[in-house]
Chain A
Amino acid sequence: MDKAKNIQDYIEGHTPSNTIKRRNFIQLLGGGIYVFFHAGAALKLMAADGDQRQLPDDFNAFLRIHENGKVSCYTGKIEMGQGANTGLAMMLADELDVAYENVEMVMGDTDLCPWDMGTFGSLTTRMFGPSMLAAAAEARQVLLELAAEKLGTEVDKLEVTEGVVFNRQNKGEAVTYAQLTNGQRIERVAKKDATVKDYSKYKIMGKLKFRADSMEKVTGKAKYSGDMRLPGMLYARLLRPPSHGAKLISVNTSEAEKIDGVQIVKDGDLVAALHEDPEMAEKARGLFRAKFEKADKPVNNDNIFDYLKERAPEGNVNINEGDLSKGEELATSVFNTEFHDGYVAHSPMEPHTAMAYFDGDKMTVWAGTQTPFPAQSNIARILGMEAEKVRVKPPYLGGGFGGKSAHGQAVEAGKLAKLTGKPIMVDWTREEEFFYDNFRPAAVLKVNSGIDDAGKITFWDYHVYYAGDRGSETLYDVPHQKRTVYGRGWRAPGIHPFDTGAWRGPGNSTNTFARETQVDIMAAKAGIDPVEFRLKNLKDQRAIDVLEAVAEMADWKPGKSPSGRGFGVAIGSDAGTYVAHIAKVDVNKETGEVKVLKVWVAQEMGFCVNPQGATIQMEGCINMGLGYSLKEVIEFEGGKVKTKNFDTYEIPRFSWIPEIETKILQRNTPPQGGGEPAIVCMGAVIGNAIYDQTGARLLEMAMTPDKVLQALKNV
């Protein structure tokens, strides 16, 4: 077992013990000051829902002030390009009064970090952030107390700058965090009511900070899951069904077995070709002869919306205020509209990839995942192991967008590693990535609403099927309103022909498309400028603020739509943040192609920790949002996913990219989410701009050229 010994050398920091006890972390890591904290009750509830294990009830992250004065934060959150490692380090440095360069975020390793449900929902800054600040405040208090003792003075006479504590009256009386921490082993649990600094006192937060990982990423040194290497590692290519729901009847691998150096694994439905050379593994898989019994649902791109409506689950009334029939009586114009949204892929540039190694006792999985701890639980459950015997280590993640909350590739790698005892690399091809992606669900929305002669919305009867309720809030001030949600969240087991899941701002892009288009339809009918119409019907000050800000940025010229100018507007709210967008488009009436020329966006996200990071997320949302709005369509027939690569699945390219102007309305209120909000308006703002230029109203996404031409015919 020399090979195994070698391999162990690659897996540093192995802990054999139960990872959820505080003591173990301290034993593993050594001296210093530790402050344990918990990122909010909401997280714990969600955790309990998804994990059968006993969870730590008093913490899910901790800080460590090292004996050399450096600071680490251990958290199960992960970095996937959104810049969390930068923003969190800024927060921690600022609250603790240490240099940003002396702060390190240790993220996602299930042995080194306490349990965390995963990284999604733009929760990292807004829910994890405040708890981390409170813990930092606690750590700072401990350090001040130690300093007061050492300097023979009182805490309230002390100040801190970049890790040096000094007497305000006599700056020569000073001691560093490193000196205070040296030889200590102090353990605290953060108090919920710890006093953190006033927002105005922060020096690092609120200022531009460039991302922490650029150097590694521009030199090719950054390691993603597929870049992991162990001696004797084999690439795996697994037998795949032709369509979702197909059952394996028989498989003949005799031709594949003839390939030199190949190892074939068969374990029930799991059939794989393993080879040290990925091209040979692929060649061997190509020689599998398998029979499947297909069980395709009678659904395809042509009948999907009727299919979904026929199978609509029972509705849940989320809100019912006033009296709809009274609202209808008050209306002088009534609008009944049905909206559609198609399936959309996550399509991260890095397909799902994982490497796993089982040493006979413990499984280690290097996996690109947004959910290392749920992955750990799932792998353990499926392989009949204890969770503590499975370690998930997330390297850099090449894009997630919600799609890497699912971690099927890590389970496959774990299974094969356990069966073979060898290090196994499961790196999905692009075709597999499209096949196994849990798409943003196709959805149907029915909105019935009305306005009076003054242009006030009198009632709003909103029905959303399959998209979930995120972003379905009416936002506008409507006296009589009802909102009914059919199907729970974005999953509808047994209905869709393949898996569906959370896609950046889940449900919200779909809901905002329906709401903001419907509002635009009403504004046009009323003959009122679409910005003015919105302001007239808004009472929510945060929504008013972003809308007024974006109108000023774009130098909005009021006028009723369609004006022929090609300007659209939309507002939205997601993850506690408000956004307003204006877009200028140019529609080619011959081809139906839509070019988005410019997008202005104003965003209010409470206190913005890293304006640079937040701005980049806004830009990314706008560019990514062009795809689902205009071009991205999954082609399918029953459970067969016909879309296999980027030749037919068109994601945004350089020539599509608009000029972008962003503005963040800085507030001294708790930080809110930033990874998703600016994507939710994209469909509506583009659709409304198309209408403004041409008078053609698009009610279905993606607004592909053929749909634009069809809508133009109806003008």
Chain B
Amino acid sequence: MKAKIEFTLNGKNVSVELEESKKLLWVLRTHFNLTGTKYGCGEGYCGACTVLINNSATRSCATTIGEVAGKNVITIEGLAQGEKLHPVQQAFADHDALQCGYCTPGMIMNAVGLLNDQPNPSREDIILGMEDNLCRCGAHNRILDAIEAAANEMQNGK
């Protein structure tokens, strides 16, 4: 059964008519052509598909489109303010915290969610918060450094 589902996507009100059971990941990638959100495992283990739902980092492969009705969804494409990168994006670039880049959008979205919850995290908090986002290239040390730097930047910027 198709249903009309309205939600906010990267700051804009959108409306789709789809089966409520469709996975948010595939709706983003096919219906909205927002391909920055990646498929990695399809079962919530790897974090490549992480987006923000009401500012909380969420696995879009394990979320149905029905569940986001009335909510605020932000993907990697909606994170920068115009030309200005989000501090976490900027920190990833500044720290060379990526290689193949496939896990990067999910890493960044998860980190933003983490900093929304814990604006002043310890290194241990960051490790714990990023634990279920997988990277095969081994960029982990730099990703942790980038998130620490972004947290400092965001604190000092306030």
Contacts and interface: CB of A to CB of B under 8 A. Distances in A.
Interface of A: 80-83, 210-211, 213-224, 226-227, 229, 276-279, 347-351, 396-401, 427, 429-430, 612, 616, 619-624, 645-647, 651-655, 657, 659-660
B41 interface: yes
B45 A646 contact: yes
A396 B93 contact: no
Contact of A217 (B77, B101, B138, B140): B101
Nearest to B80: A219
A92 to B, nearest CB: 21
Contact of A652 (B33, B39, B126, B140): B140
B102 A399 contact: yes
B57 interface: no
B42 A349 contact: no
Contacts of A221: 36, 77
Q: Which of B23, B101, B132 has the most CB of A within 10 A?
A: B101
Contact of B75 (A81, A220, A348, A349): A220
A673 B109 CA distance: 34
A405 to B, nearest CB: 15
Contacts of A427: 39
8 contacts: A217-B101, A218-B104, A398-B102, A616-B96, A623-B138, A623-B141, A654-B127, A654-B133
A213 B139 CA distance: 15
Nearest to A79: B100
Contact of A279 (B23, B99, B104, B140): B23
Contacts of A347: 136
Nearest to B23: A279
A219 B77 contact: yes
A219 B85 CA distance: 8
Nearest to B89: A218
| Nearest 4 interchain pairs by C-beta | A220-B36, A81-B100, A398-B102, A623-B138
Given A227-B35, A623-B138, A399 B45 contact: no
B48 interface: yes
A221 B80 CA distance: 12
Given A214-B98, A219-B80, A653 B35 contact: no
A210 B77 contact: no
A150 to B, nearest CB: 41
B141 A218 contact: no
Contacts of A219: 36, 76-77, 79-80, 85, 89
B9 interface: no
A80 B100 CA distance: 5
B45 to A, nearest CB: 4
A349 B133 CA distance: 11
B32 to A, nearest CB: 12
Contacts of B40: 349-351, 430
Contacts of A616: 96, 99, 139, 142
Nearest to A210: B96
A348 B90 CA distance: 25
Nearest to B107: A218
How many interface residues does chain B have, given as a range?
35 or more
Q: Which of A220, A227, A276, A279 has the most CB of B within 10 A?
A: A220
B35 A223 contact: yes
B134 A646 contact: yes
B152 to A, nearest CB: 18
A217 B141 contact: no
Contacts of A647: 43, 45
Nearest to A428: B39
Contacts of A396: 100-102
B130 interface: yes
Nearest to A227: B35
B140 A657 contact: yes
Contacts of B141: 619, 623, 657, 659-660
B96 A278 contact: no
B154 to A, nearest CB: 16
A622 B138 contact: yes
B35 A623 contact: no
Contacts of B101: 81, 213, 216-217, 222, 396, 398
B46 interface: yes
B140 A220 contact: no
A653 B131 contact: yes
Nearest to B91: A218
B16 to A, nearest CB: 13
A227 B39 CA distance: 10
Given A218-B104, A654-B144, A349 B99 contact: no
Contacts of A213: 101
Nearest to A615: B96
A352 to B, nearest CB: 12
Contacts of B108: 218
B26 A217 contact: no
Given A218-B85, A619-B142, A651 B104 contact: no
A620 B138 CA distance: 4
Nearest to B33: A229
Nearest to B103: A349
Nearest to A427: B39
A458 B68 CA distance: 70
B43 A645 contact: yes
Given A399-B99, A657-B127, 6 more contacts: A214-B92, A220-B36, A224-B102, A349-B102, A350-B102, A430-B41
A401 B135 CA distance: 13
Interface string B112-141: 000000000000001110111111111111
B134 to A, nearest CB: 6
Interface string B34-65: 11111111110110100000000000000000
Given A279-B26, A616-B142, A83 B99 contact: yes
A348 B77 CA distance: 23
B93 A214 contact: yes
Contacts of A210: 93-94, 96
A348 B138 CA distance: 11
A223 B29 CA distance: 12
A528 B6 CA distance: 72
Contacts of A216: 101
Contacts of B104: 217-218
A621 B79 CA distance: 31
Contact of A278 (B30, B41, B130): B30
Contact of B136 (A215, A227, A349): A349
B135 A349 contact: yes
Given A616-B142, A620-B137, A349 B48 contact: yes
Contacts of B134: 349, 646, 651, 653
B81 to A, nearest CB: 12
Interface string B14-38: 0000000011001001100111111
Nearest to A658: B141
Nearest to A612: B96
Contacts of A351: 39-40
Contacts of A83: 99
B64 to A, nearest CB: 11
Q: Which of A218, A400, A612 has the most CB of B within 10 A?
A: A218
Q: Which of B89, B90, B136 has the most CB of A within 10 A?
A: B136
Contacts of A646: 41, 45-46, 134
Contacts of A278: 26, 30
B103 A277 contact: no
A620 B139 contact: yes
Contacts of B33: 229
A651 B136 contact: yes
A576 B65 CA distance: 52
